[in-house]
Copies of this chain bind each other. A is one copy, B any other.
Amino acid sequence: MHSKYNRAGFLKGLGKAAAGAAVLGSAGLAGCKPKGEGATAANGGKTYKWKMVTTWPKNFPGLGTGANRLAEVLESMSGGRIQVKVFAAGELVPPFEVFDAVAGGTADIGHGAAYYWKGKSEAAQFFAAVPFGLNAQEMSGWINYGGGQQLWDELYAGFNLKAFACGNTGVQMGGWFNREIKSIKDYNGLKIRMPGLGGEVLRKAGATVVSLPGGEIFQALQSGAIDATEWVGPYNDLAFGFYKAAKYYYWPGWHEPGTAMELLINRKLYEELPQDLQAIVETACRAAYTEMLAEFTARNNAALVELVKKHKVQLKRFPDAVLKTMGEYSQEVVAGIAAKDAMSKKIYDSFLKFRGQAVEWNQIGEEGFSLARSLTA
């Protein structure tokens, strides 16, 4: 995914795209009607009116709607003591000013993904997605039980922010291509839209990496201005209609193996919250992690079937040799972050240690089961 290089374009482009996509869920802030004992705000409790800024176009499927749902859950669990107004990207601040807006108090909370803040710290990217890194289940393992949360707290404390993992897309797709990828040489001169660390990896392979906002991708692909693009996965990609502009849909999405979403909260605000509201914020995020991942998992299934059966999309797997080379380049790119400063090194070391153990367990756990199931499915 990522859509971070052209602020105005991101807004405009994605805004258009979202309008064309299925709008799911609802902003539904008026839908919260606490009753009975729940209406504690009326009993003398302080009411918090929060502005939530997001990096997502309004009601963007899965991500924007996930932020909307989070707002609803905060309101309903607090019996209305927390009231949240959700701002889509650009409504209050541009998407890539969400971090500063929450840190500075222009907004109270923010919903996005930590790789958008690499300008603040390259190491922030470890809390969103790392090429050949951790899948959704493992990211949650590292953050909740592998020391990740403590490192995230340490990194963000200097910015007056507190963050929680608050959603995950699961493994994304490798992207849409108008040329077949048979060897690493096929990346030489390939014009591809791929932001972030994945883009840096492709540059090593000789690709011409461009950054386009979501809404401009389709036309660029159709006109031949680019040969390939990544976006998210079947659920979001179907809505964008990429199958009309590219022949091949490649997997797996090695560059974003389980992208974690992030809730940002102004640290001073968070620390001054009563203990029950602190628990409500933390737990709502943990629940959102389950819920968003469930939505992507369920809807990717159905969208993939539609792409292949109805739209006759050709699914292609990157050849082993290509994946191996990308894996090596990824290690170099990621190691480059560790070289930036001591804090980045500390996060990198923790992430890599967890990853090593996670790969070993995954091979006999989730991966082992998946392969066994595929034998008879």
> How many angstroms between the C-alpha atoms of A252 and B277 in the bound complex?
41
Question: Which of A102-110, A221-229, A278-286, A335-343 contacts the other chain?
Answer: A278-286
Chain B proximity of A348: nearest CB distance (Å): 16
A77 to B77 alpha-carbon distance, docked (Å): 8
Q: Is A44 an interface residue (CB 8 A)?
A: yes
* Chain B residue with the shortest CB-CB distance to A372: B323
Task: Please state the number of chain copies in the assembly.
Answer: 2
A254 CA to B136 CA in the complex, in Å? 21
Closest to A359 in B: B377
Interface size of A by Cβ–Cβ distance < 8 Å? 98
**Any chain B CB within 8 A of the CB of A73?**
yes
Of the listed stretches A1-9, A53-61, A190-198, A300-308, name the one at the interface; the rest are far from the partner chain: A300-308
Q: Mark A304-318, 1 if CB is under 8 A from B, else 0.
A: 110000000001011
Interchain CB contact (< 8 A) of A305 among B79, B355, B360: B360
Interface presence of A362 (CB below 8 A) = yes
Of A28-36, A115-123, A175-183, A199-207, which stretch is located at the interface?
A28-36
Instruction: Tell me the complex Cα distance, A209–B293, Å.
Output: 37
A299 to B252, CA, bound (A): 27
Q: Most B CB atoms within 10 A — which of A135, A297, A374?
A: A297
**Is the Cβ of B363 less than 8 Å from the Cβ of A77?**
no
| Chain B residues positioned under 8 Å from A297 (CB to CB) | 137-138, 140-141, 145, 358, 361
Quote the shortest CB–CB distance from A84 to chain B (angstroms).
Answer: 14
Per-residue 0/1 for A132-153: is the Cβ within 8 Å of any B Cβ (1 yes, 0 no)? 1001111011111110000000
Residue from the list B77, B80, B301, B373 in contact with A141, Cβ < 8 A: B301
A106 to B286, CA, bound (A): 31
Interface of A is mostly: helix
Known: A76-B276, A358-B301. A141 touches B372 (CB 8 A): no
- Encoded as 1 (CB less than 8 Å from any B CB) or 0, chain A from 336 to 377 comes to 000000000000000000111111111111111111111111
Residues from chain B with Cβ under 8 Å of A361 in the complex: 234, 297, 300-301, 304
Take A275-B76, A283-B284, A369-B252 as given contacts and tell me if A323 and B143 are in contact as well, using a CB distance cutoff of 8 Å: no
- Contact among B40, B136, B280, B366 with A45 in the assembled complex (CB-CB below 8 Å): B40
Q: Which residues in B have their C-beta under 8 angstroms from that of A140?
A: 290, 293-294, 297
Given the interface pairs A77-B280, A279-B77, the reply to whether A323 lies near B376 with Cβ below 8 Å is yes
Q: Does chain B have a CB within 8 A of A46?
A: yes
At the interface, yes or no: A233 with Cβ under 8 Å from chain B? Answer: yes
Q: What separation, in Å, do the CA atoms of A173 and B146 have in the docked complex?
A: 22
Pull 23 A–B residue pairs with CB atoms less than 8 Å apart, ordered by A: A36-B275, A38-B276, A43-B43, A77-B280, A135-B370, A136-B366, A140-B294, A141-B295, A141-B297, A146-B298, A253-B369, A254-B369, A254-B373, A283-B287, A287-B287, A290-B290, A297-B358, A301-B361, A304-B360, A318-B372, A327-B372, A362-B370, A363-B370
Name A's B-contacting residues (CB within 8 A). Answer: 32-38, 40, 43-46, 73, 76-81, 132, 135-138, 140-146, 170-171, 173, 233-234, 251-254, 257, 274-277, 279-280, 283-284, 286-287, 289-291, 293-295, 297-302, 304-305, 315, 317-318, 320, 323-324, 327-328, 331, 354-377
Can you list the 8 inter-chain pairs with the closest CB atoms, starting with the nearest?
A: A327-B376, A38-B276, A301-B357, A145-B298, A252-B368, A141-B297, A286-B287, A79-B276
